[in-house]
Amino acid sequence: MPLHKRSSKMVAFVAVMAGLANVFGLVAIPVGLTSIHFMQLPIILTGLTVGSIPGASVGLLGSLVMAFMLPTANPYIILGNAILGSFTGFFYSRIKNWKVRPVIPQLASVIAAYLIQAPYVYVTDVYLVSMHPAVVQAILLKLLGEDLISLFISHIIMFRVDIAAKVR
């Protein structure tokens, strides 16, 4: 979004979404041997509804708590989530008018953003945080699942509420 189009509603929306992302990052839902969280939900929702810069902002601000609450702090999570929000918004802004069901361009945007985010996560976690490659691969698989679940929840919200119209 161009800087001249900022509004107090947009700033408030980004702040609320970043706060929600931080809270969702703290709440883990046990699933079998692992747990999932929905920190990506506000990041993806923001990227899809209001664009790449607000999506990146929510990714940056919304992952601060999780990055430093892990047993081993991982500040690289912050930029990784900014990549997710930014590229989700970037791709969706270019393909949202496809003449298909709305979930298809949303899905394509999130998968494309994940494919950009995944190498960053792998390199930072293996080479900078010194995690074992097999562990990072498991994290990436879990991350893809969380992104897809967050996308489908975002799709339902977007079907019900025109967020872009409310924050501009």
List per-residue pLDDT tens for the chain, 168 residues long: 454 466 889 999 999 999 999 999 999 899 888 889 999 999 999 999 999 999 999 999 999 998 998 888 899 999 999 999 999 999 999 999 999 999 999 999 999 999 999 999 999 999 999 999 999 999 999 999 999 999 999 999 999 999 988 887
Report pLDDT digits (tens) over 129-158. 999 999 999 999 999 999 999 999 999 999
Phi, psi of 13 (to 5 degrees): -65, -45
User: What percent helix, strand, coil does the chain show, rounded to 5?
Assistant: 75, 5, 20
Using an 8 Å Cβ cutoff, are 93 and 53 in contact? no
Neighbours of 163 (CB within 10 A): 18
Using an 8 Å Cβ cutoff, are 82 and 40 in contact? no
Phi, psi of 29 (to 5 degrees): -105, 115
Q: Under the phi-then-psi rule, with left for phi > 0, alpha for psi from -120 to 50, and beta for the rest, what region is 51? A: left
Predicted confidence at residue 3, as pLDDT, reads 47
Neighbours of 111 (CB within 10 A): 15
Taking the C-alpha atoms of residue 44 and residue 13, their distance in angstroms, rounded to an integer, is 14
